[in-house]
Amino acid sequence: MDPIRIAIVGVGKIARDQHIPAINGNANFSLAATVSPHHRGPEGTPHFASLEELIESGPAVDAVALCTPPQVRYDLAALALAKGMHVFLEKPPGATLAEVAALESRAEKVGVTLFASWHSRFAAGVAPARAWLAERTVKSAKIIWREDVRVWHPGQAWIWEPGGLGVFDPGINALSIATHILPRPFFLRSATLEIPANRAAPIAADIEFRDTAGATIHMDLDWRQTGPQSWDIVVETDAGTLKLSNGGAVLTLPTGTEHNEDMEYPGLYARFANLIRGGRSDADIAPLRLVADAFLRGHRQTVEAFHD
């Protein structure tokens, strides 16, 4: 079959570090163009300042990968869908739940694929963790996701604005794993969001969830971590403790630790190709719904102003 001609919209760090190599490594795709008003893509790849410009005067494109901040993604996705393009949404898939629902409805009417991607679900330890937990009884779980925002998001003002999610931008990765591996649905019980006096989004959060059988899930998010970073999920079961560390890359079971090669973005693009070839969409909003609940029901606590 001919490769799927794909354009990347938004040529920032995540596009350069992850999307472009994954596309180049997948024979199902060919990188047809890049779109950004600020940054060019790889040398020799047609580049356009806007998606409108690509549509009007660029090469034919079958799909787009939207790597922009979530606040501007809806209009881009709606335009692409209206032109019959398949759409890959970076995480989080939108600034609101209603946006994603509207896009899913549009994709279904047009007959193209909408893919709400959750890259952390493709980390090396996640699939075996899901399989192991499916045969156990979960007693409790802890999520510790602490990192230094100055290291990972320097100068990125959009993450502090409404719709940018603040500390939930990385934290939603943990929720994408937890909603995938835990065998029972879970929901918010309480949340405290720490918001800097000069920002609109939280820098830290302390959250309690409970699953449908009563097991508690505690989440600790913080963007003020220095030194070693923490991206861990620990699950207590009737058969012992499971731990996913390094963002899901390393799985430790009672029998020992497993180290497997991480293939997050190659896995995402393999999934996207399969969805397109099969005429299906995947717009799971479970992680975003939990974040929305935290904002809706969470107690907001103002803390000292943050300066990047």
Catalytic residues: 91
Crossing angle for the helix pair 126-133 and 168-181, nearest 10 degrees? 40
Q: Is 67 exposed, middle or buried (0-12, 13-18, 19+ CB in 10 A)?
A: buried
Radius of gyration of the chain from Cα atoms? 20
For 83, other C-beta atoms within 10 Å of its C-beta total 14
Cα-based angle 81, 108, 272 (whole degrees, multiple of 5)? 70
In DSSP notation, the chain reads -PPEEEEEE--SHHIIIIIHHHHHT-TTEEEEEEE-SS---STTS-EESSHHHHHHHS---SEEEE-S-GGGHHHHHHHHHHTT-EEEEPSSS-SSHHHHHHHHHHHHHHT--EEE--GGGGSTTHHHHHHHHTTS-EEEEEEEEE-BHHHHSTT-GGGGSTTS-TTHHHHHHHHHHHHHHSSS-EEEEEEEEEEETT-SS-SEEEEEEEETTS-EEEEEEESB--SS-EEEEEEEETTEEEEEEGGGTEEEETTEEEE----HHHHHHHHHHHHHHHT--B---HHHHHHHHHHHHPEEEEE-----
